[in-house]
Amino acid sequence: CKKIDKMSDLEELWKSLQEAVNSKSLLKKHLTPARYERLKNKKTKFGGTLADCIRSGCKNPDSGVGIYACDPDAYTTFAEVLDAVIMDYHKIEKVAHPQPSFGDVNNLGFGDLDPSGELIVSTRVRVGRSHASYGFPPVLTKEDRVNMEKASVEALQSLEGELHGQYFPLDGMTPETQQKLTADHFLFNDSDRFLKAASGYDDWPTGRGIYFNQDKTFLCWVNEEDHLRLISMQKGGNLAEVYRRLVKAIEQMEKKLTFAKKENMGYLTFCPSNLGTTMRASVHIKIPKVSQMPDFKDVCDRYNLQARGIHGEHTESVGGVYDISNKRRMGLTEFEAVTEMMRGVNEIIRLEKSA
């Protein structure tokens, strides 16, 4: 019943997008009337619709991207609009992506980005992964979520050594524990209105949970925005340690599960901004001076960096601390993505220290 209601709202969604004349979203820019006409009656193999992809962006005209893929097949069925968004976001001239390549992990060419320990509070690198045989949130059932959780947890529980840990389902976790884990930047919650409008919190908290090792330096989010988010993080600026740990986790998980990939797109994710490497390498960094400079945004653009607040996307900075990460994830290798972030952060540190 819910699914039928949702399908019939396409015209209304389109109308509100037309009325959102000030929207700067990539959806607004690339879903032209001609494209809308050609795509409006199409359906994916999973039964997903254009409405399922654009609902969040139409209901939230302040979206940056504004479109999600309702399932892996959307990247084919709705390619006309999604390809345009992808090329724009990742700054690539055609939709193409190299084979995964993590570089020589024993000789990365970077180590601790802030040996003095003055500016970088913590470092985190994450990737998203999707089970090859399931859709994304708009087309998932409660049963799908439970089955995916089971498969993910089974794979996670096979991890060894430093990656060995325990799984904590959200269902049954006390609100106090949830709040503490979230405030400490380890856990997600259901407060992102963009993701909410995209069905990201349907059946909440069923099927959701977090896995982590003893030190909380390796974590995995289960059924948040993506089916899995593999995360490596620690205090300070040692990007090499964080990256190496993540690569190890990716390699071990790949042996246990089959992830959704597409020839020219790399790994598939719910949001087109995460395709390809799916990698976001970030630092929480104290930059009270640089962040106040009039050309802060230009510096970020020049180095392909994205600045976020410290409680995640769409949050504010606190005390001059920003989350600085690589913006592009597609059309470059994992090693190139992390290197892009490293170069940009080095420049930001140089500017802060000389300001």
Which residues sit at the interface with ligand CIR, rule CB under 6 A? 56, 63-66, 194, 225, 271, 273-274, 313
Closest residue by beta carbon to ligand CIR: 271
Ramachandran quadrant class, 229 (left: phi over 0; alpha: psi -120 to 50; beta: rest): beta
328 near ligand ADP, rule: CB under 6 A: no
Q: By CB under 6 A, name the one of 77, 123, 306, 333 that touches ligand ADP.
A: 123
Give dist(CA 162, CA 24) in Å, integer.
43
CB of 233 to ligand ADP, least distance (A): 6
Shortest distance, CB of residue 68 to ligand CIR, whole angstroms?
Answer: 7
Q: How far apart are CA 327 and CA 342, in angstroms?
A: 12
Q: How far is CA 342 from CA 125, 282, 305, 324, 330, in A?
A: 12, 9, 10, 10, 17
Name the phi and psi angles at 273, rounded to 5. Answer: -70, -15
Would you say 13 or 308 has its CB closer to ligand ADP?
Answer: 308
Q: Whole-angstrom Cα distance, residue 354 to residue 333?
A: 32
- Contact status, residue 249 vs residue 218, Cβ threshold 8 Å: yes
Question: Which of ligand CIR, ligand ADP, none sits in contact with 248, Cβ below 5 to 8 A by type?
Answer: none
Does 145 participate in binding ligand ADP (rule CB under 6 A)? no
Nearer to ligand ADP, 126 or 328 (CB): 126
208 binds ligand ADP (CB under 6 A): no
Question: Taking the complex as a whole, how short is the minimal distance between the CB of residue 228 and ligand ADP, in angstroms?
Answer: 12
CB of 167 to ligand ADP, least distance (A): 18
Of 339, 343, 296, give the one whose Cα is nearest residue 125.
339
Residue with tokens 């009656």: 41
The nearer residue to ligand ADP, 122 or 304, going by C-beta atoms, is 122
Position 284 contacts ligand ADP (CB under 6 A):
yes
- Residue 283, Cβ density class (10 Å: 0-12 exposed, 13-18 middle, ≥19 buried): buried
When binding is defined by CB under 6 A, the residue of 47, 205, 312, 320 that contacts ligand ADP is: 312
310 binds ligand ADP (CB under 6 A): yes
Question: In the set 233, 247, 305, 307, which binds ligand ADP (CB under 6 A)?
Answer: 233
**Contact residue for ligand ADP among 30, 55, 90, 280 (CB under 6 A):** 280
Residue facing ligand ADP at closest CB distance: 312
Reference 46, options 3, 79, 17; nearest CA is: 3
End-to-end CA distance of the chain: 59
